[in-house]
Structure 1
Amino acid sequence: MPAPLTAQQIALYMSKRRAGSRQEVAAAAAGISVSSAHRIDAGRLQPKAAKPRTRRRPDPLAEVWEPLLLPLLERHPALTPTTLLEHLQEQKPDQDWSSVKRTLQRRVQQWKALHGPAPEVMFPLAYQPGEIGFCDFTRVKRVAITLRGQPFPHLLFHYRLAWSGWAYGQIVHGGESFVALSEGLQNALAACGGVPRELRTDRLSAASRNRDGSYALDITPRYQALCAHYGLSPSRNNRGVAHENGIVEGPNGHVKRRLEQKLILRGSCDFEEPAEYGELLAEVFSALNAPRQRRYEQELEHLAPLPAFRFADYERLTVRVRSTSTIEVRQVIYSVPPTLIGRQVTVRLHHDRLVVFLGSGWVCQLPRAYGAAGEKRAWCIDLEHLIDGLRAKPRALLHCRYQRHLFPDQRWWEFWQQLLAGGERDGAARLMAEALYVAVRVASFELVLAFLEQAQRRQSLSLSALQQRFRVPPRCPSLPDPVIPQHLLASYDHLVPAAALTGGGSGPAAAAQTTQAGAVSQPLAAAGRAG
């Protein structure tokens, strides 16, 4: 018995016939007999309309849908099927309603589609080349980035051109500050090579005060000055409407997913320096920009040129160096060279560093530190600044407030604890202060610690052994004997008028000749008294 004709065969046959093929040719192309082709042409083999599917079992919600559940949905359309199911179990506990969960979900979904409130309508937007750029901060949450094994809390700054999709990103230390916004935006514009007409952000506190009313009056003066410097027209999204910045909000996820994949291929999320992490992030954005290169080059022609110089991407502070050779900035204590004690210095505060100036002269650059949540104060101590003072006062190591921050890593700290537990605390302090001095000024931390651990195992650890091993210079080197050459007294003749020199011989020149002619010269003190 031949198989029944399928709808596809009938459709193919009819298409061939409409194209002008003869009945036999169309039948052969569709894989049917000529007699079947006759019946199709006669209209006797058209596919029948399928009958609507009828309910095959009684409605399990018939008794509760209209009297109990529907009134709740009409009053509160936001109710979910799970909430309605729990409510149903509370109202009618004599029956197990867990088996109707899927039925209830379909029923609620259908009711909301036909009778529920309409969701917000989204409109596709089109931008012109060079019209607008978007920027945003985002946090990497699904991977834990570390620096030398320590957690590295940070944000990513993301800038994106709306028309071409060209993007730029960088690491930001700390939070969404104006300093971070200023540096990130200016670096992005410099990398882009041009400036769009408008800049859109979300409701950043670094850019606006987030008060009701006119945005022009709400914008902060520093952000207004930054935008004016680059000729940008600032704008922001409405409160709580993040999708208005979808040009950059959506790609935030793309960037972080690509970053995660890069880290998987790398095999580690730990980095030696932030710069190494920044290089990996630059590779991510380079790969994202590669397919958009042609549109970016087209949009570049519509961007305004960059200004001749950058806007200040730092905050200027004036502080006085304490007697502890430290300064306090944003509740963080930083060590500085002790020669600055008592001086008033200017600090340029960036999001990732501090640059210290004395007057107009550069002094040093310090990495910026941020205190952990709940900490009243944090410390950023550079042993290079304090090691000479610590060597002179080794017992200060016992009770220093930032004692833990004087040690370079956990191994040094654990060795210090072993020394304290071993007995004499003053001797331990002198030994550790000298060891830190040797590590900073003479050798390296790794080499000195290896010697200390080895000497401790041999029970030969002492201050003298450390000094002999690394040939440490004494604290107060002996001063060499001064050599003071005696000058000729005739060198004073140019101070005396020429007439006096040619006189009767009683002037200074004569005295000088007498002094030089003597067999034994008198001491200077005696010569002074003789005058």
Structure 2
Amino acid sequence: MRPPLVTDHQTRLFMKYRQNNSIEVAAAKASISRATAYRIDNEVRLPSQDKPPRGRRRPDPLEHIFDTEVVPRLKAAPGIRAVAVYDEMRRRHPELSTGIRRTLERRIRSWRAVHGEAQEVIFRQTHEPGRLGLSDFTDMGSLGVTIASQPLDHLLYHFRLVWSGFEHAHVILGGESFVALAEGLQNALWSLSGSPLYHRSDSLSAAFRNLDADAKADLTHRYEALCAHYRMTPTRNNKGVAHENGSIESSHGHLKNAIRDALLMRGTRDFGDLVSYRAFIDEIVSRRNAAHGKRIDAERPHLQALPDRRTTDFEEVIVTVSSTGGFVLRKVFYTVPSRLIGHRLRVRLFDERLDVFIGGTHLLTLPRGRARANGKHDQVVNYHHVIHSLRKKPMALLGLVYRDKLFPRAEYRRAFDVLVEQLPDKQACKIAVELLALAHDRGCERELAEELARVLDVGKLPDLAALRAVFGPDPNQLPTVHVQLASLNGYEALIGASYAGEAA
């Protein structure tokens, strides 16, 4: 009869108790029989080591092809995937079963463990408080966020302290750029109230793209000047080596998952405006920082003190206003007041706005536009800038290059389409331009849009006379008020009376 099975655990227990007890006592404590105890007392190996190796239970399906066909292919193309080898072997040998895929993958993996090329080693680092901060950008398109029901194409600038896990996130409307990095990094440092010794970025690869040598050198100089302002030593990970920024790359996923969960809990991915969405992101990041509050408080004393002020987080460009009433910058046409035609303006480019100066005087702020995804130009148009000229040439509206961007609200565009469909072009353009002029003169853009929507919904055309009567009196019909100024002799008499009173 086959002896009863004894586990390795029982054997170890028996050998332990055998050191201080008789065979019988040790066997009882290990829950084995006396006969088994005598048998294993002289054994030098565990029961599992006495088992004979399991032999092959079926013929090797790769025996005739692995060494002759698979191995030469692995040597010739070390990076080839196992599934590609499997497809090639199935094509060459149709008699092979589809079930050999896992067998082939295991065999290739074993072969590579013995004969494969050396792989890159990841060296884990010991981090010190206050030493290293990381910056990177991550795409947020997969979350499907919308602003007023319109998709928001944006990135998230992400800063993180390696030791404590402090995070800061900033919504970026354009692509990766020095401006976005400078604005986001400075916001993070001032929120943190300190700066680390070293700052690491991902080489600004997207910002460097399509730049000539001089522009790249200028961008490098500006990045180094930004870090020097905060007494940080700039470092960059090697291009295309994501794990060198691993402390923030992995954090991207955690932060995006937290945002995704918060959007699901919120019940909608739509926000009324960009300010609301940014506040939503700030709240999530604040909650994540609160979870690391003790470590963040412990790291703050090791950070460097901030300078007295921020440094520049914008690009400055000189532009000339053309006769079209605007200027082109980075493939975007911007309108400005027509009085500036022919003037050279100094423009500061921020991530989401343009500040326009003439000399040292700030003139206006414009929302920043972006070139279209296909590389074509786009426009940022304010109808207030051109309406006075358009009233003189209303037919220019029909073929205007930036007509779609001229209408401030969808109701105005809808009214124009209905007018063109039902009236002659000249009359339709005249009415559409006068509607814009009415909104400009009376300051009733939103109210007029609501009234246009009501009129169009009942199938009527806009009546200019009725709309002018609704939205206040015509400035030309206001009465002229004449003010009769008092004579200066009266003031002379009053001054003389006051002097007489003082003398008395």
Given the two structures, how large is their TM-score scaled by the length of structure 2?
0.83
Q: Are 1:58 and 2:53 matched, yes or no?
A: no
The Cα of 1:86 is off from its aligned counterpart by 2.5
Structure 2 residue aligned with 1:72: 73
The Cα of 1:90 is off from its aligned counterpart by 3.6
Q: Which amino acid is 2:76 matched to?
A: R
Q: Give the whole-Å Cα distance in 1 for the aligned partners of 2:71 and 2:486.
A: 115
Q: Which amino acid is 1:107 matched to?
A: R
Structure 2 residue aligned with 1:316: 316
Q: Would the aligned equivalents of 2:353 and 2:367 in 1 still touch at CA under 8 Å? A: yes
Q: Would the aligned equivalents of 1:390 and 1:396 in 2 still touch at CA under 8 Å? A: yes
With over 3 angstroms needed to count, the CA separation of the structure-2 counterparts of 1:360 and 1:21, relative to structure 1, is farther
Encode CA deviations 1:403-426: one digit per residue, 9 max, x unaligned.
111223444323321111002333
With over 3 angstroms needed to count, the CA separation of the structure-2 counterparts of 1:222 and 1:66, relative to structure 1, is same
Q: Would the aligned equivalents of 1:180 and 1:351 in 2 still touch at CA under 8 Å? A: yes
The Cα of 1:305 is off from its aligned counterpart by 0.2
Structure 1 residue aligned with 2:430: 430
Q: Give the whole-Å Cα distance in 1 for the aligned partners of 2:483 and 2:409.
A: 48
Structure 1 residue aligned with 2:146: 146
The Cα of 1:387 is off from its aligned counterpart by 4.2
Q: Would the aligned equivalents of 2:415 and 2:432 in 1 still touch at CA under 8 Å? A: no
Q: Which amino acid is 1:335 matched to?
A: T
Q: Would the aligned equivalents of 1:181 and 1:206 in 2 still touch at CA under 8 Å? A: no
With over 3 angstroms needed to count, the CA separation of the structure-2 counterparts of 1:195 and 1:9, relative to structure 1, is closer
Q: Which amino acid is 1:40 matched to?
A: A
The Cα of 1:220 is off from its aligned counterpart by 1.7
SS at match of 2:431: helix
Q: Are 1:124 and 2:121 matched, yes or no?
A: no
Q: Would the aligned equivalents of 1:203 and 1:210 in 2 still touch at CA under 8 Å? A: no
SS at match of 1:142: helix
Structure 1 residue aligned with 2:499: none
Q: Give the whole-Å Cα distance in 2 for the aligned partners of 1:288 and 1:262.
A: 12
Structure 1 residue aligned with 2:110: 110
Structure 2 residue aligned with 1:101: 101
Q: Give the whole-Å Cα distance in 1 for the aligned partners of 2:81 and 2:453.
A: 65
Q: Give the whole-Å Cα distance in 2 for the aligned partners of 1:254 and 1:19.
A: 54
Encode CA deviations 1:460-510: one digit per residue, 9 max, x unaligned.
742212222323x33645773867879799x9xxxxxxxxxxxxxxxxxxx
Structure 1 residue aligned with 2:465: 464
SS at match of 1:356: strand
After alignment, is 330-339 or 64-73 more displaced?
330-339
Q: Would the aligned equivalents of 1:316 and 1:348 in 2 still touch at CA under 8 Å? A: yes
Which residues of 2 match residues 156-235 of structure 1 at below 5 A? 156-205=156-205, 220-235=220-235
SS at match of 1:301: helix
Encode CA deviations 1:148-187: one digit per residue, 9 max, x unaligned.
2223222211111122221211111212211111111111
With over 3 angstroms needed to count, the CA separation of the structure-2 counterparts of 1:253 and 1:486, relative to structure 1, is closer
Q: Give the whole-Å Cα distance in 1 for the aligned partners of 2:5 and 2:119.
A: 45
With over 3 angstroms needed to count, the CA separation of the structure-2 counterparts of 1:423 and 1:29, relative to structure 1, is farther
Which residues of 2 match residues 246-285 of structure 1 at below 5 A? 246-285=246-285
Q: Would the aligned equivalents of 1:134 and 1:245 in 2 still touch at CA under 8 Å? A: yes
Given the two structures, how large is their TM-score scaled by the length of structure 1?
0.79
Q: Give the whole-Å Cα distance in 2 for the aligned partners of 1:9 and 1:220.
A: 65
With over 3 angstroms needed to count, the CA separation of the structure-2 counterparts of 1:18 and 1:382, relative to structure 1, is farther
Match among 40, 43, 53 for residue 40 of structure 2: 43
Structure 2: stretches of 5+ with no match in the other structure: 492-504
The Cα of 1:429 is off from its aligned counterpart by 2.5
Paired residues, number? 479
The Cα of 1:15 is off from its aligned counterpart by 8.7
Q: Give the whole-Å Cα distance in 2 for the aligned partners of 1:8 and 1:63.
A: 39
With over 3 angstroms needed to count, the CA separation of the structure-2 counterparts of 1:434 and 1:15, relative to structure 1, is farther
With over 3 angstroms needed to count, the CA separation of the structure-2 counterparts of 1:484 and 1:327, relative to structure 1, is farther
The Cα of 1:19 is off from its aligned counterpart by 10
Q: Give the whole-Å Cα distance in 2 for the aligned partners of 1:447 and 1:261.
A: 38
After alignment, is 281-290 or 184-193 more displaced?
281-290
Structure 2 residue aligned with 1:137: 137
SS at match of 2:235: strand
Q: Give the whole-Å Cα distance in 2 for the aligned partners of 1:168 and 1:383.
A: 38
SS at match of 2:354: strand
Encode CA deviations 1:91-122: one digit per residue, 9 max, x unaligned.
334x2442322211111111112221122111
After alignment, is 130-139 or 373-382 more displaced?
373-382
The Cα of 1:350 is off from its aligned counterpart by 0.5
Q: Which amino acid is 2:175 matched to?
A: G
Q: Would the aligned equivalents of 1:227 and 1:234 in 2 still touch at CA under 8 Å? A: yes
The Cα of 1:394 is off from its aligned counterpart by 3.9
With over 3 angstroms needed to count, the CA separation of the structure-2 counterparts of 1:418 and 1:207, relative to structure 1, is closer
Q: Are 1:330 and 2:327 matched, yes or no?
A: no
SS at match of 2:308: coil
SS at match of 1:354: strand
Q: Would the aligned equivalents of 2:61 and 2:96 in 1 still touch at CA under 8 Å? A: no
SS at match of 1:128: coil
SS at match of 1:220: helix
With over 3 angstroms needed to count, the CA separation of the structure-2 counterparts of 1:171 and 1:61, relative to structure 1, is same
The Cα of 1:306 is off from its aligned counterpart by 0.3
Encode CA deviations 1:24-80: one digit per residue, 9 max, x unaligned.
9988887x58xx367437637974533322111011111111222222223322222
The Cα of 1:390 is off from its aligned counterpart by 4.2
The Cα of 1:260 is off from its aligned counterpart by 1.6
Structure 1: stretches of 5+ with no match in the other structure: 492-531
Q: Which amino acid is 2:378 matched to?
A: A
Q: Are 1:352 and 2:349 matched, yes or no?
A: no
Q: Which amino acid is 2:182 matched to?
A: S
Q: Would the aligned equivalents of 1:167 and 1:285 in 2 still touch at CA under 8 Å? A: yes
With over 3 angstroms needed to count, the CA separation of the structure-2 counterparts of 1:488 and 1:315, relative to structure 1, is closer
Let me know the Cα RMSD of the aligned residues: 3.5
Q: Would the aligned equivalents of 1:443 and 1:470 in 2 still touch at CA under 8 Å? A: no
Q: Would the aligned equivalents of 2:412 and 2:452 in 1 still touch at CA under 8 Å? A: no
Q: Would the aligned equivalents of 1:207 and 1:220 in 2 still touch at CA under 8 Å? A: no
Q: Are 1:83 and 2:80 matched, yes or no?
A: no
Q: Would the aligned equivalents of 2:18 and 2:26 in 1 still touch at CA under 8 Å? A: no
Q: Would the aligned equivalents of 1:208 and 1:220 in 2 still touch at CA under 8 Å? A: no
Q: Give the whole-Å Cα distance in 2 for the aligned partners of 1:319 and 1:218.
A: 19
With over 3 angstroms needed to count, the CA separation of the structure-2 counterparts of 1:187 and 1:79, relative to structure 1, is same
Encode CA deviations 1:371-422: one digit per residue, 9 max, x unaligned.
1122432111123444455456544433322111122344432332111100
The Cα of 1:365 is off from its aligned counterpart by 1.6
With over 3 angstroms needed to count, the CA separation of the structure-2 counterparts of 1:62 and 1:128, relative to structure 1, is same
With over 3 angstroms needed to count, the CA separation of the structure-2 counterparts of 1:483 and 1:79, relative to structure 1, is closer
Q: Which amino acid is 1:52 matched to?
A: P
The Cα of 1:126 is off from its aligned counterpart by 0.8
Which has more radius of gyration? 1
SS at match of 1:74: helix
Q: Give the whole-Å Cα distance in 1 for the aligned partners of 2:272 and 2:107.
A: 57
The Cα of 1:308 is off from its aligned counterpart by 0.6
Q: Which amino acid is 2:109 matched to?
A: Q
SS at match of 2:143: coil
With over 3 angstroms needed to count, the CA separation of the structure-2 counterparts of 1:486 and 1:249, relative to structure 1, is closer
Encode CA deviations 1:271-315: one digit per residue, 9 max, x unaligned.
222222211221232233223222221211111100011111112
